[in-house]
Structure 1
Amino acid sequence: MSGQGWERRHAAEYGTTAWSRAVVSCGALVAHHAGYDRRPGAVSEAAAGFRQEWMPVAELLALAACRAGQAQDRPVDDVELPVLLGWADGAHTHLLHTGPLDGHLGPAHWLRLAEDETCRSRARDVVTTESTLAIVESRELTGGRTSTPARALRLGARAAAAQARGVGFPAWADDCAWAADQVERLHLAMQAGAWRPTSAHRAYAREVHRTLVAEPDHPPCPAGAVGPSWIQRVVRIPHVRATVLALAAQPAYAVAAPASDPLGAAVDAVVHVGMEPVSVLAAGLERAWAAQLPDRPVAEWELAHIPGPVREQIRAVEALALRLTVVLLDLWHPHE
C-alpha cells in the first residue's frame, strides 16, 4: 500500500491521521507509566511537568509506531509492542527521521528524539512495563493455560487497557458511580412518594426496560461459539445507547427530559455518562472484528483485542444498566 493509501486507511478507520492516532495511543501508555492522571478534575500543575518531561517520550513512541506501521503496512494500533520497541530503541531507531509522514513535526525534530538517550530509555521502560502487564493480564484471563499471543501486545489494545486502568483506580469509576447515584435518586424518590410518575413516564420506562433486557446477539459469532461473547457484549452497549436516545427524542416522552425529571436524569446518566466511553471503544472493535480471519477462534481474538481492564469496565457498565433495569421494572410494573 502506498504512503497515501496507508494514511487514508487511518482516516477511514479513526477519522484522523496516523500520527495523531499514534500520539493518542502512545500518550495513553506514557501517561499511565508516568502516573499522570488526565481526568478533568485531576489535572493540575502536573500537566506542565508531564508535557515537558514525558511528551517527548510519547512523541518518540508515536513516531516509532508510525514507522513500524508503514514498514508492516498496518495501522499504528496494530503494531505489536516488541516491534514498537525495535523502532523506538533498537535496530531501526536510526531510520526514525527518514521518510514521509503527515504531522506537525519534521525530520529535524524526529532526529532529536531519536538521538535523545534519556528519551529512548524512558520509551523502553514504558514499553517493557506495559508488555509485562499484558502478559500478566493474559495469564489471569486464561488461567495461565496458554502463552500470551503476540496480538495481545498490540498498541491499540494496550492503550485501551491503560485508559481503562487509569491511575490509582479505573478512569471510568467516577462516571459509573455518578450515574449510579442518579439511578438511586430515582429509586428513593419512587419509594418515598416524592415523585409521581405519569402514564407517559411508565410507558417510557417500559420501552427503555425492554431495550436494556435484550440479549446481545450482534455481531454473529461463528457456529459452535458459546455466547454472548465479549465482542457482542461490547457492541451491545452503543446499540442500547442509540436506541434509548432515539426513544428519548420522541415527543411522547418529552415529559422525561433529563434536566427536570428524575427518570430522565437517571436514564440520561446511564446512557451518556456510563455508556458513552464504551461506545467510542466499541466502534473500533466492531471494525476489527469485521476484518478478522473467519477461522480464528473467538476467544483468541478477544484475548488480543479486549484486555482485562476493558472487560472490567464492560462489567461495570453492565451492572449499572442492570440496576437501572430493576428500577425501571418497579416503575412500569410495580409490585402490589
Structure 2
Amino acid sequence: MENIVITVGAADCGTSPQMPYVGERFDGKNFTTLAKRYLCAALLRCGFDVIDPADGVCEPQDLILAANRHTVSAAITVSYTAFGSRKSFNDVHGSVVRYSQGRFGGKSRVLCEDICAKLGLFGKSATAPDGALGAANCPTAVVDAGYITYFDEAKMLYDPDFAVETGEHIAMGVCEHFGMPYIRRDDILSYPLLCSAATGKRGKKIKMLQALLCANGYRVEMDGIFGKNTDMAVKTFCINNGKRDCDGVTAAVWRDLLVLNPPKLEYGTKHNAVLYLQRKLTSKLYKTPLSGALDEDTVAAVNEYLTETESGLSTRKGGGITEEIFKLIQAVGGGRPRLF
C-alpha cells in the first residue's frame, strides 16, 4: 500500500465574544489543538502517515514550510472562523473549507470539496478560495469547523465530541479523496495490543497512540517510537484511570483513551472520563473546573444540567455519574440558551 503522508496543523483563531453563564471568552485553541490530534489519530488509524509541525497551534505559513520540507500528499489545518468585530454574536454560521489558488489550486479544490461533502456538522458547509495557501508544494485545505462569533458554534469550542466529529469527518473526506478505506473509530480490533515490553517499537499505530495520549493531556512527541516518555505516559494514564496492574496498552486502555463505554464515576474519582464530562458541561455553559476529578463543583454542575433539562435524573442520592447520565450529557450541542 502506498504511504500517503499528510501534514496536519491547528490554527490560532482567537477568542469568542463573552460567553454567558460562565463569564469568559472561549479560546479557539482549545478546539483546534484537540481536533487536530483526533484528526491525526483518525488518519493514522486509516493507514495514512502524518506530520504535525507543532505541539500546539501554528501559523499557516509554518504548516506550508513543514509540508514543503517533506514529500507530502496534502496539508490540512483545523481552524474556526469569525465574522465582524468579535464583540458580540451574530447569525453567520456553518463550516467553510478553504483551498489554495496556487500551483496546486485545482487539486486543492477537489480535496476541499471531498472534505466539505463529509462535513456539514451544523447542516451548512461550503468551499472558498484562499490566496494565502499558494506557496505550498501540495494540495492544501483549511477547515473552518464553525464561526467563533455564532453562539451555538462558539459553545462547541469546548465540546470534545465535536472535536472528535470534526477530525473524523475530515478523515472521511481525505479517505474518499485518496481512495483509502475509512476505519470506524470504535473498531477496537484496529488498535494494536502493546505489552509493557513494547519499548523501541515503531510505526503509525504507535504515533496514533501518541496522538490520543496528547488529546488526553499527556505531553509526548508524535514520533512513532514507543520510547521511555511514551511508556511513562501510558503507565501514568493507566494509574490515573484505575488500572494500576495494567500490562501495557490493552483493549480496555484504548477504550479509556477514546472514552468509549465510560465507567460509573463516584464522588472523588479521578479519570479521563471526568475531564471529558467537565469539557461537555463547559460547552453547555455549566461552569466546572477542568481538573479530571469529580468534585463538588462538577457534581453541582451535573445536577444543574439535569434539573434544567427536566431529565428526572440526579446524582444526589449517591448514585454517581451513571451511564444514563453520561448518554444525556454526551449529545453534541444543547445546553443553556443565549441571553440576548
TM over 0.5: no
| Larger strand fraction of residues | 2
> RCO (CA 8 Å, sep 6+): is it higher in 1 or 2?
1
Higher alpha-carbon Rg: 1
